[in-house]
Amino acid sequence: MLGGTRGLLPRLVVLLALVARARAVDNAVCATSSDGGVDWFPPANRLSADATAGGSTRATYDVGAAFNVSYAKTFKVVRTKALVGGALAAEKTYVLHQCGTPRPTVDVDGSSAFPSDAQFFSVPVRAVATSMTVAVGYLEQLGARDALKMTDPAYVHSPCVQRDEENGVIVASHIEYNSDWSENRTLWRNALNGISGLDMVITDHYDGGTGSSGTAKDVAFHASDADLDMLQRTEQIKFLSLFFNKEAEANAYYADQVERWNYMSSLIASAQSQGRLRSGLKCAWVTASGGSYTVSWAKYKDDICTAAGLTTYAQSGVSGTSHTFPSTEAYLTAMAGVSIVIDESYFYNPSTSATKTAVHANLDFTGRTLPSMNSATGMILRLDKHVSDGDPLYAPAGYYPSEGMAWFEDPYVHPALVLADFAQLVWFSSFGIEAIRAGCPRFFRDVNSDDGVIKTTASDCDVWENARINQLCLIQLSQQRVTLAALFSLPGSSSSAAPVSRIALTLVVFAATVMAFLT
């Protein structure tokens, strides 16, 4: 009986916590006239300033690299920073007030005027449009796909957005080009005007916002800014969450991704320090186009290689984060020292065009002896493992649908999956990471082994949605920690098996998993 009493207290605490949570103000619903004085943004409903899951007790603070936020009882003021790499990304002020409350006239201090170009939104926003694939991954992860009302189907990868767009639930439009290749936004903007109750258009600073509306509904979203590192890109989920009153979800998601990223990279570092994985291998992000060869070491690319235990090729003596080689010889000399080539070259519809032969030819690797050409010494990876089928139903004259890569949509919000996918390929034979499961985004494709492109279509939506809602992709990452910790006897694991037998065991588990997929 004593045991029963002991169990009661924790259960009571849990119960009280649930009650407390139920009483916290629900700002997914709008204020009514009887709600005067309600604080819609108490700490539990605020962003955290760092990688912690709880909301901040402070009402004004910086959130990472790109913006800061100040909360009042019925509104919040978001100020974006001009990012170093975004010359066109001016500082902006967005004033977001709880729907049903009046638009505020003075700032959170109760007296300062808002800047004359401040933009006002009633939140949570209900109707959003964007031509940017980058925003789609964030919206889905926030559970805000229902708010997406219009998109450009040419590039979207998400199978559920493909489905909704093909069913007419999401409106399709696109940016037209004039005969001199200048942008003609008339069609796109007319379509925006046709969206009833449109609250917000997510755009970015490139070319002044290709898919913008040219109105105060435009919100600049800079998650793909080259100056942001891998986790700072993920952190931008917090920025979008402000418009949906989903701060708590964004805090928790970001904190979890940071933990998973750090766990995996420290595991790899530990395995290397124990001599169980090779050290010193070099990776290079290469773009080849018409005989011109460029390497890039943008921060997030360097982060991916570094976290996986590789050294990123960066041209010495060059400022900036990319370098175009002066000659093919100089390029090939550099490639002679690179084990893992990540080929970023553009192929129109990669599922048919980016074959092993074509990729080798484009890289000018055909017939050469290079570390990346031989599976014993390296590999060539492409970023087109998952592509969409375009939209076969949307076919206006002069419009060319193409396969949209998950790489331009999902890596921002899924850094832990990016790292798992990459490390699984790079360390395939010696590291106990499983292939990413069905319904979860994959990015990298091993060209030399004829690893195929996977096309996702509208019919894959159910599997992907199930994986997202039930967190299957994250559960897989959690489950394999047991294997990995045992394999590399990290602090806290107690396995004493010899390394070789542990590796063998892992390979058996891995093979069983692969078999489970194939059957």
The pair of three-digit structure tokens given for residue 160, joined into one six-digit string: 């559920």
Least distance CB 187 / ligand NAG (angstroms): 4
Residue closer to ligand NAG (CB basis): 176 or 227: 176
Return the residue matching tokens 């091993």: 446
Question: Binding of ligand NAG at residue 52 (CB under 6 A)?
Answer: no
Question: HSE of 166 in the Cβ direction (CA atoms, 13 Å)?
Answer: 20
DSSP string, 219-265: EE--TT-TTS-HHHHHHTHHHHHHHHT-HHHHHHHHHHHHHHHHHHH
Return the residue matching tokens 């096309």: 455
Least distance CB 185 / ligand NAG (angstroms): 8
Q: Which of 167, 184, 279, 352 binds ligand NAG (CB under 6 A)?
A: 184
Question: Binding of ligand NAG at residue 62 (CB under 6 A)?
Answer: yes
Question: Binding of ligand NAG at residue 81 (CB under 6 A)?
Answer: yes
Q: Which of 60, 272, 294, 311 binds ligand NAG (CB under 6 A)?
A: 60
Q: Are 461 and 160 in contact (CB under 8 A)?
A: yes
Q: Which of 25, 187, 435, 454 binds ligand NAG (CB under 6 A)?
A: 187
The pair of three-digit structure tokens given for residue 384, joined into one six-digit string: 């087109």
Amino acid at 452: G
Q: How far is CA 74 from CA 99, 200, 210, 289, 406, in A?
A: 9, 19, 33, 52, 38
DSSP string, 108-171: TTSSPPPPTT-EEEEES---EEES-HHHHHHHHHTT-GGGEEEE-TTT---HHHHHHHHTTSSE
Return the residue matching tokens 């990279």: 265
The pair of three-digit structure tokens given for residue 387, joined into one six-digit string: 């592509």
User: Residues touching ligand NAG: how many (CB under 6 A)?
Assistant: 11
How far is residue 13's CA from residue 21's CA, in Å, rounded to a whole number?
12
Q: Which of 5, 105, 111, 178 binds ligand NAG (CB under 6 A)?
A: 178
Question: Binding of ligand NAG at residue 256 (CB under 6 A)?
Answer: no
Question: Binding of ligand NAG at residue 59 (CB under 6 A)?
Answer: no
Residue closer to ligand NAG (CB basis): 79 or 356: 79
Least distance CB 457 / ligand NAG (angstroms): 28
Q: Which of 68, 210, 306, 353 binds ligand NAG (CB under 6 A)?
A: 68
Q: How far is CA 10 from CA 4, 306, 386, 415, in A?
A: 11, 42, 45, 35
The stretch near ligand NAG (CB under 6 A) out of 184-192, 203-211, 256-264, 362-370 is 184-192
Residue closer to ligand NAG (CB basis): 187 or 503: 187
Question: Binding of ligand NAG at residue 470 (CB under 6 A)?
Answer: no
Residue closer to ligand NAG (CB basis): 80 or 315: 80
The DSSP call for residue 327 is S
Least distance CB 97 / ligand NAG (angstroms): 19
Q: Which of 52, 167, 186, 333 binds ligand NAG (CB under 6 A)?
A: 186
In degrees rounded to 5, what are phi and psi of residue 244? -110, 5
Residue closer to ligand NAG (CB basis): 186 or 289: 186
Least distance CB 66 / ligand NAG (angstroms): 9
Interacting residues toward ligand NAG by CB under 6 A: 60, 62, 68, 79, 81, 91, 176, 178, 184, 186-187
